[in-house]
């Protein structure tokens, strides 16, 4: 049954995504590939919607995934149930784990094992997000389907590269703009996308 | 007002005011939960937030569960958590409906074409920031490279990498500690 599977997939994500909302992104890619509920492009759209709306980004993405998955199967009423199911699935493991940890808070924090697990977990979690980022880059900055006609300039999404470079400079190098909220850059990119027909 | 209802409303407010990731939530929590309600001390909040970052799941949810649990037991933990996710459920459901209804329009697709480029850059920036904290020596660099390439090229669940990396961390750190 779809909703049980949806709950279970998000339960696993909530249990193994360590380090907050961004850490759920590789799980979303994996879920889309394994279930066929949504495409890589959908995930990239979800990240943008999750960043530019109120609420924690991880929750926003889960709600969005649940919504479109439920909608795909059962229309509008199914969509709402899907949104609720995915979100509850994502938060259930957190709530259970935290309620247990709260019982022996101090010993958890000071535990040698917890500290040393994080020595390995942090770079692994970063690596997973990097791989997810690479998928977004490959599917949006290159046109893989042009390779059937051979490698050439048509392989590159030139407009995309120029926009990406401009955004990178604005978010890293320009003092006046680098601390602006991501929503500004997302909206600016939407406008650029419409003007340039991206 | 009933304390559980008060908790739900307060955390829903925190949810609405949090834009983006869990880090954006800290100042909002400080104002609402520490200063206005007095449900947790400043240091407690910092502790919860630190642990929330290194336990599975969404940082905002983890922190909300901690504070709710401290104030009103298991029921409090659950109510606070439901409060923090409630605004997302409403807003995203409304928005997802609108987006799917207009997704056949060319200009909407162009807008998302531009937005996805922005997502590339945002993820790159996030990775650079996390990398600086996570990759501290040759071992962590190797873990980062193996996991990023392995996850990109192999059809393996991220769960496998997370479990192996945690185990590796425990083994390596304790060998070092034993010397």
Whole-number Cα distances in Å, B28 to A98, B63, B142: 21, 12, 37
- Interface size between A and B, measured as CB pairs under 8 A: 379
pLDDT of residue B139 exceeding 90: yes
- B143, A124: Cβ pair inside 8 Å? yes
- The 3-state secondary structure of chain B reads CCHHHHHHHHHHHHHHHCEECHHHHHHHHHHHHHHHCCCCCHHHHHHHHHHHHCCECCHHHHHHHHHHHHHHHHHHHHHHHHHHHHHHHHHHHHHHHHHHHHCCCHHHHHHHHHHHHHHHHHHHHHHHHHHHHHCCCHHHHHHHHHHHHHHHHCCCCHHHHHHHHHHHHHHHHHHHHHC
Q: Tell me what pLDDT residue A162 has.
A: 95
Q: What percent of chain A has pLDDT over 70?
A: 99
Q: What is the rounded distance in angstroms from the CA atom of residue A20 to the CA atom of residue A6?
A: 20
CB-based burial, A165-180: b 16+ in 10 Å, e otherwise = ebbeebbeeeeeeeee
Nearest CA in chain A to B67: A102
Average pLDDT over chain A reads 89
Q: Tell me what pLDDT residue B21 has.
A: 60
B38–chain A Cβ distance below 8 A for any pair: no
Structure-model confidence comparison of residues B51 and B15, the more confident one: B15
> B90 to chain A, minimum CA–CA distance in Å?
9
Residue partners of B157: CB distance under 8 A and separation at least 6: A30
Q: Tell me what pLDDT residue A147 has.
A: 82
- A95, B91: Cβ pair inside 8 Å? no
Greatest CA span in chain B, whole angstroms?
65
**Angle at which helices A112-141 and B106-134 cross, to 10°:** 150
Q: Tell me what pLDDT residue A74 has.
A: 86
A58–chain B Cβ distance below 8 A for any pair: yes
Q: What is the DSSP letter of A156?
A: B
> A149 to chain B, minimum CA–CA distance in Å?
23
CB-based burial, A183-198: b 16+ in 10 Å, e otherwise = eebbbbbbebbbeeeb
Q: B166 to chain A: which residues are within 8 Å by CB?
A: 117-118, 120-121, 124
The arithmetic mean of pLDDT across residues B76-91, rounded, is 95
A156, β-bridge pairs: A142
- A63, B89: Cβ pair inside 8 Å? yes
Average pLDDT over chain B reads 87
Out of A24, A55, A134, name the one closest to residue B18 (CB): A55
Best B22, B48, B92, B95 residue to mutate vs chain A (most A CBs within 10 Å): B92
B97–chain A Cβ distance below 8 A for any pair: yes
Task: Please name the residue that has the structure tokens 């500290």.
Answer: A115
Q: What percent of chain B has pLDDT over 70?
A: 94
pLDDT of residue B175 exceeding 50: yes
Q: What is the end-to-end Cα distance of chain A in Å, rounded?
A: 38
Q: Tell me what pLDDT residue B179 has.
A: 43
- A134, B152: Cβ pair inside 8 Å? yes
Q: Determine how many CB atoms are found less than 10 A away from the CB of residue A107.
A: 10
Greatest CA span in chain A, whole angstroms?
62
Q: What percent of chain B has pLDDT over 90?
A: 41
A119–chain B Cβ distance below 8 A for any pair: yes
Please choose, from the candidates B66, B56, B74, B93, the residue with its C-alpha nearest in 3D space to the C-alpha of residue B11: B66
Q: A194 to chain B: which residues are within 8 Å by CB?
A: 107, 110-111, 114
Q: Tell me what pLDDT residue B20 has.
A: 63
> B1 to chain A, minimum CA–CA distance in Å?
25
Does ipTM surpass 0.95 in this model? no
pLDDT of residue B178 exceeding 60: no
Nearest CA in chain B to A190: B111
pLDDT of residue A149 exceeding 80: yes
CB-based burial, B30-60: b 16+ in 10 Å, e otherwise = bebbbeeeebbeeebbebbbebbbbbbbbbb
The arithmetic mean of pLDDT across residues B83-105, rounded, is 89
pLDDT of residue B50 exceeding 80: no
Please name the residue ranges forming H helices in chain A: 2-16, 25-35, 40-51, 57-103, 105-110, 112-141, 158-172, 182-196
pLDDT of residue A173 exceeding 90: yes
Q: What is the rounded distance in angstroms from the CA atom of residue B124 to the CA atom of residue B113?
A: 17
Q: Determine how many CB atoms are found less than 10 A away from the CB of residue B136.
A: 12
pLDDT of residue A82 exceeding 90: yes
Residue partners of B152: CB distance under 8 A and separation at least 6: A131, A134, A135
Instruction: Indicate the pLDDT class of residue B65, thresholds 50, 70 and 90.
Output: very high
Q: A26 to chain B: which residues are within 8 Å by CB?
A: 151, 158
- A59, B165: Cβ pair inside 8 Å? no
pLDDT, one tens digit per residue, over B2-41 is 999 999 999 998 888 877 665 667 778 888 898 899 998 8
Q: Tell me what pLDDT residue B101 has.
A: 83
Q: What is the rounded distance in angstroms from the CA atom of residue B148 to the CA atom of residue B165?
A: 12
């Amino acid at each position: 049954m779809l909703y049980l599977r949806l709950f279970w997939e998000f339960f696993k994500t909530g249990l193994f995504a360590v380090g907050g909302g961004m850490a759920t992104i590789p799980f979303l890619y994996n879920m889309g590939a394994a279930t066929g509920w949504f495409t890589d492009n959908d995930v990239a759209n979800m990240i943008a919607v999750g960043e530019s709306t109120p609420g924690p980004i991880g929750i926003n993405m889960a709600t969005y995934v649940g919504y479109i998955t439920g909608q795909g199967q059962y229309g509008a009423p199914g969509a709402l149930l899907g949104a609720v199911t995915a979100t509850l699935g994502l938060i259930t493991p957190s709530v259970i784990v935290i309620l247990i940890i709260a019982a022996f808070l101090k010993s958890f924090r000071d535990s040698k094992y917890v500290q040393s697990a994080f020595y390995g977990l942090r770079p692994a979690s970063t690596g997973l997000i990097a791989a997810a980022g690479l998928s977004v880059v490959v599917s949006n900055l290159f046109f893989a389907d042009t390779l059937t006609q051979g490698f050439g300039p048509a392989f590159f999404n030139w407009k995309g590269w120029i926009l990406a470079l401009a955004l990178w400079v604005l978010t890293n190098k320009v003092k006046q703009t680098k601390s602006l909220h991501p929503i500004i850059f997302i909206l600016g990119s939407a406008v650029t996308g419409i003007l340039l027909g991206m | 007002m009933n304390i559980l209802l008060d908790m739900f409303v307060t955390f829903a407010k925190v949810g609405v005011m949090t834009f983006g990731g869990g880090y954006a939530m800290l100042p909002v929590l400080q104002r609402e939960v520490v200063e206005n309600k007095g449900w947790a001390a400043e240091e407690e909040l910092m502790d919860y937030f630190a642990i929330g970052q290194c336990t599975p799941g969404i940082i905002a949810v983890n922190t909300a569960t901690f504070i709710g649990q401290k104030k009103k037991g298991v029921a409090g933990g659950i109510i606070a958590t439901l409060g923090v996710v409630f605004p997302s459920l409403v807003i995203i459901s409304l928005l997802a409906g609108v987006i799917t209804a207009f997704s056949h329009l060319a200009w909407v697709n162009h807008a998302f074409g531009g937005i996805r480029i922005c997502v590339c850059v945002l993820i790159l920036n996030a990775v650079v920031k996390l990398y600086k904290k996570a990759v501290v020596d040759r071992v962590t660099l190797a873990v980062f490279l193996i996991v990023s390439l392995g996850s990109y090229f192999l059809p393996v669940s991220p769960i496998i990498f997370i479990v192996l990396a945690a185990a590796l961390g425990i083994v390596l750190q304790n060998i070092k500690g034993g010397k």
